[in-house]
A and B are shown apart, each in its own frame.
Chain A
Amino acid sequence: MRASAAVVAETDGRGGTRLAVLRGESPLLPRRTGPRSAGGATVHLVGGAAGPLRGDDLRLDIEVGPGATLEMFSVAASLALPGRPGPPSRLTITARVAAGATLRWLPEPLIAAAGCDHVAVTRVEVAAGGTLLWRDDLVCGRHGEPSGAVRADTTIRYAGVTLHRHELAVGPGAPGWDGAAVLGGGRAVGTLVAAGPGLPNTGMAGLPNTGMAGLPGAGVAGLPDTGVAGLPDTGVAGLPDTGVAGPNAAVMPMAGPGVLATAVGADIREVRAALDPLCRRPAVAF
């Protein structure tokens, strides 16, 4: 199955956000949800069919224009499934966030069912002055089954410079993925990238420094990273506290203008416990 979906958000000129484009095909169906008065637009992805199944080629393009705010969720986890022999299933997501725009991408997890073969490609481009919150959770197999094969390939660029480049491979064909360097027997992993100049502290506040009480992000927060020539370590005013966030999680200032939180858990609940508090909507309405 081939399917594509597109969401284009732009400012309505009255302090709100309108959706200039909102189209999709099963299994990628974007639906506007939430109140229209909040200033930003909220979109939920609804799965219109099973899958992705092996051989599927799915694409989602997101664009947030200058001054607009878009928040995207999905109504349920997506389940990568095996299918007839063929190429891996593939989901390509591209997102472009303009100056003064905000994109919050907070979908439900991807579950790698036993026997699946799935590739998730993410390309995000944020202009200088744009704000991004990008969450990806992965669960390695349904309850009690071995993990299928998933390869995630993510690039997030900020102001024309690559901020975050990450690949993660789990399941058959990924050497050592369940060893102690990668997931160590954990069946769920989550990643949250926050980037931008004006991300309010509240956006990732409530950092649960649990498990490391008395060590307020010590040793990691505020330690300057030696800048690379031509890549000033700009730091981002108002970005969240960094440090350790529970025994199997960390909140890390990246070399560029952003913060990455990552958590590994025996199951998705442990990942959510570490990352959900960092995703709460800012106290100030957008």
Chain B
Amino acid sequence: MSLATLVLLADGRLPSGGHAHSGGLEPQIAAGRVRDIRELDGFLRGRLATGGLVSAAFAAAACGDVGRAAELDAGLDARTPSPALRRASRAQGRALLRAGRAMWRLASLPSREPHQPVALGALASAAGLTPVEAAVAAAHGTISGSAGAAVRLLGLDPYAVHALLARLAPECDRIAALAARRHGDPVDDLPAAGAPLLDIGAEHHATWEVRLFAS
């Protein structure tokens, strides 16, 4: 294990296109549901407990055994009813693999465009990280991207947004630990927490002609 490697993998500056995605925040802002730090807090907590938990569990599972990539990928398909979110996840998975191939020696995966958590787990494994570290990177990634987008979309005070992220760090650790404990479970038994408004928002967002973020 290498803490510096974990920081590298979780860094928002990793050239994997993550900055192009708001994690579902842009449509919720447009719908008037997120206007300030308090509402961003509610959004991020819900996202962490749903998509964050699922991403963390699948990243941990892929990190623990990259040979499960195909079944994990199918498991994420079954957990992602929104085609817009499936496309966004696969686009991010593909970009992550591209960066990861340049950084480490990746195991070959059955798909060139896996879901993002599967790609993240494969990178973590190649980097010598453990499942719980992959889970931390995944959980952190689900909220840090949205938080960054909130600064740009709402013009929120970046200090206040980072203060919020600091308050959420223990919850991020808790979710990651919960996810990592289950990483060896059969795919159907892995977390499947859904977030209806993220699905609905993603479908609406995909119909917009002009948007700042890809998802």
Query: Which residues in A have some Cβ–Cβ distance to B below 8 Å?
Result: 153, 155, 161-169, 174-186, 189, 191, 212, 215, 218-220, 223, 225-226, 228-231, 242-244, 247-250, 252-256, 260, 262-264
User: What are the interface flags for B17-32 relative to A under an 8 Å C-beta threshold, 1 for contact and 0 otherwise?
Assistant: 0000000100010010
Identify A250's interface contact among B34, B171, B188, B203, CB under 8 A: B203
Majority-rule SS of B interface residues: helix
Identify B188's interface contact among A155, A176, A212, CB under 8 A: A155
Docked-complex contact A220 and B207, CB < 8 angstroms: yes
Docked-complex contact B200 and A176, CB < 8 angstroms: no
Of chain A, the residue at the smallest CB distance from B175 is A175
Of chain A, the residue at the smallest CB distance from B94 is A226
- Per the 8 Å Cβ criterion, residues 70-96 of B in contact with A are 70, 73-75, 77-84, 86-87, 90
Chain B nearest CB: distance from A48 CB in Å?
Answer: 32
Of chain A, the residue at the smallest CB distance from B70 is A229
Docked-complex contact A184 and B75, CB < 8 angstroms: no
User: What are the interface flags for B21-50 relative to A under an 8 Å C-beta threshold, 1 for contact and 0 otherwise?
Assistant: 000100010010110000101111111111
CB-CB under 8 A from A191, the residues of chain B are 196
Classify chain B's interface size.
35 or more
User: In the complex, A66 Cα to B194 Cα: how many Å?
Assistant: 32
Docked-complex contact A225 and B83, CB < 8 angstroms: yes
Is there a chain A Cβ closer than 8 Å to B133's Cβ? Answer: no
Docked-complex contact A180 and B28, CB < 8 angstroms: yes
Sorted nearest first, the 10 A-B pairs with minimum C-beta distance are: A176-B46, A179-B42, A176-B45, A181-B46, A255-B77, A180-B33, A250-B203, A179-B46, A260-B81, A219-B207
Identify A264's interface contact among B77, B188, B197, CB under 8 A: B197
Docked-complex contact B200 and A264, CB < 8 angstroms: yes
Docked-complex contact B74 and A230, CB < 8 angstroms: yes
Docked-complex contact A250 and B82, CB < 8 angstroms: yes
Chain B nearest CB: distance from A138 CB in Å?
Answer: 10
Identify A175's interface contact among B49, B70, B204, CB under 8 A: B49
CB-CB under 8 A from B65, the residues of chain A are none
User: In the complex, A230 Cα to B70 Cα: how many Å?
Assistant: 8
Docked-complex contact A167 and B194, CB < 8 angstroms: yes
User: In the complex, A242 Cα to B83 Cα: how many Å?
Assistant: 10
Docked-complex contact A264 and B196, CB < 8 angstroms: yes
User: In the complex, A168 Cα to B80 Cα: how many Å?
Assistant: 13
Of chain A, the residue at the smallest CB distance from B113 is A226
User: In the complex, A186 Cα to B46 Cα: how many Å?
Assistant: 14
Chain A nearest CB: distance from B171 CB in Å?
Answer: 7
CB-CB under 8 A from A165, the residues of chain B are 75, 78-79, 188, 192
Identify A229's interface contact among B28, B83, B111, B194, CB under 8 A: B111
Docked-complex contact B70 and A181, CB < 8 angstroms: no
Of chain B, the residue at the smallest CB distance from A186 is B197
